[in-house]
Amino acid sequence: MADFGADKLETFRAEASDWLKANYPAELRDPKAKTDPEAIWGGRAFAGSDDPQIVWMRRVAVKGWTAPTWPAAYGGGGLSAAEARIVEQEIARGGYRTPLASFGLWMLGPVLLEFANEQQKQEHLPKIVRGEIRWCQGYSEPGAGSDLAGLQTRCEDKGDHWLINGQKIWTSYANKADWCFCLVRTDTTKKHEGISFVLIDMASPGVETRPIKLISGESPFCETFFTDVKIPKGNMVGPLNGGWTIAKRLLQYERQNISGGFGGGGGAGGAAGDLGQIAKRYVGVDDSGALADADLRARITKNKMDFQAFGLTTARIAAESRASNGPSAATSIIKYAAAAFAQERSELMVEAMGNHGLGWEGQGFSPAELIATHGWLRSKGNSIEGGTSEVNINVVSKRVLGLPDPK
């Protein structure tokens, strides 16, 4: 008997493939095409821009395919999980760029769909889909990282508005973001039950950001200060003092997403090139054409196999989460594993290059060598961002394995 579901999906695949091909900007087909590296993040800074990356993002957003499974009522594609996967596959197969990278898509949007009121959904979700607003995440504070519920940034009820005072830290791209989703303290007598989830326009008076430099030389995050910042009453998502549930849910989405980023080489020196090929170039090959150093060969092979298995597992978990109620505490397992594999790959890359893999700048090093060094240093953060490896192991032991707290 014919499988009409499969037929329908194949028709959809053909249509999606045709549409992507017809709408991919010609300029982006040229690998040397000049686009602003920040354009992929969208936001107010690119409101009137004709950068080809922005043109691509806008075209895809008209179809809602920047957020393929979100409801069409909020600008999303309204696609089934299977159709969304096809769009992803066709974008990858065509070698097209990711249309939009966004904390709004990866983290905030999913929790707005689950917890926000109708007005908040109508206000924020379509702008996320269209890449009009760039979001940052105001969770960590100088005294509240792993112990996130220890956060102290105060949010006071002033009748017709909320008043925010306090400091966040490690706020990725706060200096470039338009809005911040933020955890604040609304009750000082309780810990977890005294936290609320609010949305803050970064252009509000009293918001200040100071970039911090990473060991890799990049400056991707900031200290963020809120001094007597007024926000409208309608900017609290979920109930007063009910922010912890939303915060935890968002972390599951975050962990799922950043694990995918490490798998693709994000922040881990993967952009320097294929590890096996690079090792052969620097270390040499034996008579059979295999990497000459047998021990290094075995470790690189293991890392590649781990990544392969990891990629298949994350694809399966992502499909399961699309088909059910979203990600679970099991995302802590993949976040932990992704960080470990990415750091191992960066170490192997630098080891294979020898002293060429330890360049900081200058003409004595090729661009790939500099990427490897900076990527290796950046990868140190992989086991910290989105919750440290130790904290994720704690989540797995308690929430996945059901083990008791240590005495």
Instruction: Give residue number: closest CB to ligand FAD.
Output: 145
- Tokens for 358, please give them: 């330890």
Residue 207: helix, strand or coil by DSSP? strand
Burial 42-71 (b: 16+ CB within 10 A, else e): bbbebeebebbbbbbbbbbbebbbbbbbbe
Beta-ladder partners of 210: 223
- Tokens for 82, please give them: 């299977």
> What is the nearest approach in angstroms of ligand FAD to the Cβ of residue 242?
19
> What is the nearest approach in angstroms of ligand FAD to the Cβ of residue 319?
27
Is residue 347 exposed (0-12), middle (13-18) or buried (19+ Cβ within 10 Å)?
middle
Tell me the C-alpha to C-alpha distance, in Å, between residue 316 and each of 309, 311, 319, 331. Answer: 11, 9, 5, 12
Residues of this chain that interact with ligand FAD (CB under 6 A) are 136-140, 145-146, 170-172, 221, 381, 384-385, 387-388, 390-391, 394
Which residue lies nearer to ligand FAD by CB, 90 or 223? 223
In angstroms, rounded to a whole number, what is the distance separating the alpha carbons of residues 84 and 70?
Answer: 10
Which residue lies nearer to ligand FAD by CB, 301 or 388? 388
Which residue lies nearer to ligand FAD by CB, 24 or 221? 221
Q: CA Rg, the chain, in Å?
A: 22
> What is the nearest approach in angstroms of ligand FAD to the Cβ of residue 136?
6
156 is catalytic: no
Residue 399: helix, strand or coil by DSSP? helix
> What is the nearest approach in angstroms of ligand FAD to the Cβ of residue 102?
13
The catalytic position among 132, 141, 254, 344 is 254
Which residue lies nearer to ligand FAD by CB, 15 or 390? 390
> What is the nearest approach in angstroms of ligand FAD to the Cβ of residue 221?
5
Which residue lies nearer to ligand FAD by CB, 112 or 250? 250
The crossing angle, in degrees rounded to 10, of helices 331-353 and 294-323 is: 150
Which residue lies nearer to ligand FAD by CB, 70 or 139? 139
> What is the nearest approach in angstroms of ligand FAD to the Cβ of residue 43?
15
Residue 328 φ then ψ, to 5°: -120, -175
> What is the nearest approach in angstroms of ligand FAD to the Cβ of residue 253?
13
Which residue lies nearer to ligand FAD by CB, 140 or 314? 140
Tell me the C-alpha to C-alpha distance, in Å, between residue 340 and each of 22, 259, 335. Answer: 40, 10, 9
DSSP line for 148-176: GGG---EEEE-SSEEEEEEEEEEEETTTT
Nearest to 110 by CA among 144, 140, 70, 79: 70
**Residue tagged 């709004």 (tokens):** 104
Residue 242 φ then ψ, to 5°: -110, 20
Q: How many residues does the chain have?
A: 407
Which residues are known catalytic residues? 254
